[in-house]
Structure 1
Amino acid sequence: MNENKTHDLEKERQYYTNQTKELLQNLKEINEQKELTESELREQVMARIGAEKQLQAAEKALEHLEMALKMTGAQMTELQEHIMPDVHKLREYFEQCAQEAQLEANRAGIMRQAIYARK
């Protein structure tokens, strides 16, 4: 009877040891995935910040161009008629890029919150 009990306890101990090893391995894999995801997220955020800075610089340059065209006077009316529509198209394009960059930046924030929510 004592031998059976000892044998049963040994089986139970082995079962829990295996379960512990499996859980520790799963935890290790999850931590590795989390670190990889956080690293990728940091890279994306830095890329977005860089893109937003470039976009802001381009928008400023566009504003300067638009102001310069307006200040050239009546002698450049024909040139302005050809250039101003292009400037407006560029402005619309940059505004659209800015909106898309903002949406992407928000998406990165949502991903980051989801990662921290899992913790």
Structure 2
Amino acid sequence: MKSQRPIASGDEHQVLQFRPRTTPSPPIRRGSGIVQPLHAAPEPLDLSRYERPREEPDDFRHRMLANIAALAFTIALTAIGIWLAVSIADLRRTQDCVLMGRRDCARITTPHI
């Protein structure tokens, strides 16, 4: 079987030089077109322009209670998911045993003396 390798020519691969955006640079000629350099924003972009003044300060006690409630809900949901997965696996194991025609599939729990 023939190996399928792409034929690479010297025109396909170019190393691009990246310059910081803070200094304006002249347009660069590449091939048939002119590439204009990107200009930097006059001021740094941050989220301060989206902030609004609050009428009342944060209620940290309420926030902590909400976080604790969310954590408890997540833990309970995870525990229910694990219990459900174990129960389904046990039922599947019992069903496989019955479908094989065995008669000793039921689990008998014995008290520990």
Assess same fold via TM > 0.5. no
Band the TM-score falls in, shorter-chain normalisation = 0.3 to 0.5
- Normalising by structure 2, what TM-score? 0.39
Greater Rg by CA: 2
Structure ranking higher in strand proportion? 2
Structure ranking higher in helix proportion? 1
Structure number with greater CO (CA < 8 Å, separation at least 6) is 1
